[in-house]
Amino acid sequence: MTELNPIKALLAQVPFMVIDGALATELEALGCDLNDALWSARLLAQAPEKIRQVHQAYFEAGADCAITASYQATVPGFMQAGLTAEEARALIQLSVTLAQQARDAVWQPGQTDRPKPLIAASVGPYGAYLADGSEYRGGYDLDRAGLVAFHRERFELLLAAGADLLAAETLPSLEEALAITDLLAEHPGAQAWITFSAKDGQHISDGTPIAKCAAALANCPGVAAIGVNCTALAHIESLIKEIRRECDLPIVVYPNSGEVYDPVTKTWHSATCDHTAADLSGLAQGVEHWLAAGASGIGGCCRTSPEDIQALAQWRRSR
């Protein structure tokens, strides 16, 4: 880890950072069954080569940053699935190694046609461990201190594994984001982006204005970027503008494809909302709007693919 903001360093070389797309969607396309409380993290034990394959596909598509398969990987979660604590810790760190191996297969030292891609180690929310959809609601049974305690071990394991930064993502509440900043303060030099799930163009999932979140995080040591993920395309432009009003940090956004997830049935459905000005058929169609609003990094979350990321990279090259 470095005290320098790795996102700002990358942005010195490219107009904006291309983040990868959905991991689980691609794993399912490869025939993997993810109907499990551990979700894609289950494959760290059962099919790690598939995870590495998906990371490599995104790097080959032009991604500047891969997000690891540790979103739902926690020591308690793995132990509930029958693994030992030692096995769980090893799998969490393997998530970083797999992404590094995929990068090494695509990018070589001295390569000049693209910057060295980043590895962002995913720190999913407490709600992901609960596997009950609460990362889209908030309202946890843990306070800030409890959230710090929950995240601490995985946080430290991922730092020790050598990721370029952490991706604290799909957070539904400001309190959980502040718990991440508490951990960053415990580890001088550690860097993380913090992205929220949002329910509309102004508010994160628990109803807190995202502008308030941006103001609270803007000057916290170790926060490399602020943004939004796992959120409808229609809300992204407004959310970027709300963040930019309160914060000068890089803004990263990686929305869903446009479909809507039902956490009860664990199924996806076509969106029925009025997209108005942001009526987009894919990520590449939103780039110009999002960059103009202040975005620095753009990628995809659920139901996006290497083809979507390739379109983003091609759009950047064409400008």
Residue list, annotated binding site? 230, 301-302
CA dist., res. 85 & res. 89, Å (int): 6
To 5 degrees, how large is the angle CA 65–CA 216–CA 138? 75
Pairing of strands 267-269, 260-262: antiparallel
Q: Are 172 and 144 in contact (CB under 8 A)?
A: no
Torsion of CA 63, 69, 72, 77, to 10 degrees: -170
Query: From the annotation, which residues make up the binding site for Zn(2+)?
Result: 230, 301-302
CA dist., res. 66 & res. 56, Å (int): 9
Q: Are 127 and 74 in contact (CB under 8 A)?
A: no
Residue with tokens 């494959």: 43
Residue with tokens 């590895």: 119
